[in-house]
Amino acid sequence: MNADLIKLFAETFGIAEDELLPAATLESLGLDSLAVIEFLFQIEDQFNIQIPDQASPPRTLDEMIQLIDPLMPKAPFGSAGSPA
């Protein structure tokens, strides 16, 4: 799972990262549909991405990650301090 997303989720909702299992439903983590939508907006702002509109919001943490992870910016090749 995307570490940046998990960290942001944990910080935003005050949940320990080790409790954020992929199969956990967002409802079981204490989020209602409005909180999910607001969090998606927060992700868009924080990572400067555009999440496509969906008929229904994600129901599990894994569904959320699968929706967002492909949209996340990727570090350029060689940016991790490796010699060019």
The whole-angstrom separation of Cα 65 and Cα 60 is: 9
* Rounded Cα–Cα distance for residues 28 and 23 (Å): 10
Strand partners, 60: 25
Check if the beta carbon of residue 61 is closer than 8 Å to that of residue 21: yes
Q: How many CB atoms lie within 10 A of CB 42?
A: 13
Predicted pLDDT of residue 17:
93
Could you tell me which CATH class the domain 3-71 is placed in?
Answer: mainly alpha
**Total-model pTM:** 0.78
Task: Measure the CA–CA gap between 70 and 10, rounded to whole angstroms.
Answer: 20
Reported as a single tens digit per residue, the pLDDT across 60-84 is 999 999 989 888 877 655 445 444 4
Does position 49 have pLDDT exceeding 50, yes or no? yes
